[in-house]
Each structure stands twice: as C-alpha cells, then as structure tokens.
Amino acid sequence: MSFSVFYSEKLTTTLPIAGFLSLLYLASCSNHPEGNKPDEKSTAEVAAAAAPIDSLQLKREAMRRDSLKADSIARKNGQLPGSILPGHRIVAFYGNIRSKGMGILGREPKEKMFRKFEGVLKEWQAADPSLPLQPALHSVTITAQGAAGKDGKYRLMNSKATIEETISWAKEHNCILFLDVQVGLSDLEHELHKLEPYLKDPIVHMGIDPEFAMQTKGVRPGKKIGTYDAKDVNFAINFLARIVSENHLPPKVLTVHRFTQGMITNYQNIKLDPRVQVVMHMDGWGNPILKKDSYRAYIQKQPVQYTGFKLFYEYDPRPKPHHMMTPQEVLAELTPKPLYIQYQ
C-alpha cells in the first residue's frame, strides 16, 4: 500500500475536509519526482538492504560463469591457453623427498635421482619423438598412516618446509609438481583446502588416491583397498577449477589413481571442466600381462578424459622373469597411448 493511500484511508473519518485535502496534497507532492521525499525508505528498500548476502551462492554463480566461459574458449580453440594435455606427455618420478621407501623420488640422493630422470626422459623422447615431454615430480604430500593420530583420521601432511623444498626441486629442473593426497579416514572436503596456497603456483597440480580413502570402509589404511565415487572426483575438479579462475591460472592436471573396479564408482558421472584436465591413472604393479589387463578393464573401457600408466622400479620385475615395461612396450601395447607416465 502506498504512502498517500494509507494515510487518506486512515484520516478521512477524523479530519475536516480542508485538513484532509491538505494532507492529500502533501502526500502527492512527496511522491512527485521534484517534491519533498520522505526520510523513511520504502518497505522494499529496507527489506533489500536487510537481506543477507549468500556468499556461497554468489561463488557458485561466478563458478558457473567461469565454466561457461571456459567451455566457450575450449570449443573454439580446442583447449584453454596453457593446457599441458594432449599436446605433451607427462613423465613423472613419484615418492617423497623425505622417504626412501615411497618411490624413486627420495630413494636416491637428489643429484643421482635427477641424472636417472634425465635418462628416462631421453628414452621416452626416443620412443615417441612426435610428442614433447613435460617432466614432473609427483610428491605424496598428505600421506595415509598406520597410526590414527590425534584426530583419528590416519593421515599426515608434509611440513611447509618439505613442500616448499619439493617445489624448489621441481623449478630447478623445469618440472611441474603434483601434490598427491591420501585421505585415510578423512575426506577431500577437509583435506584439499590445506593445499590451496601451493596450488596457486602455476606449476603445481594435484593427485588423489582412492586406494587410501577409507571413510566408506571404516578401517584404517592398508586393511582394504579404498574407494572414491564420481562425486568425490567432481569435488576435486570443482576445487581446482575455482583456484584456476580466481588466480587466472592455466588449467590444472588432476591424476586419479586406479587399479581395481571398486576404486572408482559411477565413473560415467564424472563431470569434466576445461579448467581441469583429468588423468585416470593405472598404478597397479607386477606382471606386465596383469598390468595391461587392468589398463584395458578400468582405464580403456571406462574412459574419462586422459590416461596414465605407472611403472615400478622395485615391484614390476618380481617375480622373475617379469620385467619393468620399456617405453616402446607401453606405447605399442596400450590403447589409448597414455599421456601420463609415472615411475615409482
């Protein structure tokens, strides 16, 4: 109800005609563009001013706009600027610089390890000269633990000093860096934000390992093989996409480890975003025949976007006469040819 109507209805039975008309006149003047304006704001204005701002909804809308913009650019140009895949093959050394037991990254002294890495890169370039290589370090940064820890989540994050030193190793040798996450009895929602400061660096990417995601299993890591659903992978994709948009970064690469059917459920519901390039990575070890079978069953037959394959210095040759596959064998015997190769 407007100002003038409200007061006319209230006062017609109590004021003389002259007083009533004067009030009508004043009320009409107050609503005229050039008349005097009331001090009070309208009910609608007050309500609008008092309405709380839904920052989460605003962020979702901004994400959606960024996603649509990224989709448009990707459709026009094939990829977003700065995309690593599919124009390169990523070759990575995996482990932790503070551990000799987690992989080749950290098993040997730094300079010896990088000399070995240079030799591996030469082998891959010779095996496929058509595709340039992107060297990478893949560091297990949030690691599943046998002990529960103070909060009972069975995982431990590397120190800031360790993460920064690993980043410096990568930059010294023109590598990109993957920060790998094993959540234990925690989950991605409570762990990934810890890595956000480092992911703002253009060279830093991410890996998630369902083998050690035990929340749905209810047991400590190592007792069973863990699992992620498509919704967990989508959470990681959206998390990285937001960082890309907010910090004006080239697309991030997300590696998702897999070597069994149950490690990833509902793969067909994974929702891709041009700001994040998803690698489904077969990281089982042992007999090359079994490794190739796993790749076909869980990577080739359940495609998401790009593919990866892991080679183990210690475990693939066991038991003899098995051996670690050569670059030529990997490229000749796997379809599609993996664009992400990891050595542990």
* pLDDT in the model for residue 22: 37
172 vs 51: CA distance, rounded Å: 52
Q: Per DSSP, which regions of the chain are E strands?
A: 89-95, 133-144, 155-157, 176-181, 204-208, 228-229, 252-258, 264-265, 276-282, 306-311, 340-343
Q: CATH: 3.30.460, 3.20.20, 3.30.1490, 3.30.420. Which one for 83-343?
A: 3.20.20
pLDDT at position 74: 67
Cβ neighbours of 22 (radius 10 Å) = 12
**What is the C-alpha separation between 165 and 159, in angstroms, rounded?**
10
pLDDT along the chain (344 residues), means of 10: 33 35 34 42 55 73 71 71 97 98 96 98 98 98 96 97 98 98 97 98 98 94 96 98 97 97 97 97 92 96 97 91 94 97 98
Torsion sign across C-alpha atoms 289, 292, 298, 302: negative
Note whether 223 and 246 are within 8 A (CB): no
- By the 8 A CB rule, do 2 and 31 touch? yes
What is the value of pTM for the model shown?
A: 0.80
Q: Closest Cα partner for 228 from 244, 209, 243, 247?
A: 209
**What are the domain boundaries of the chain?**
3-50, 83-343
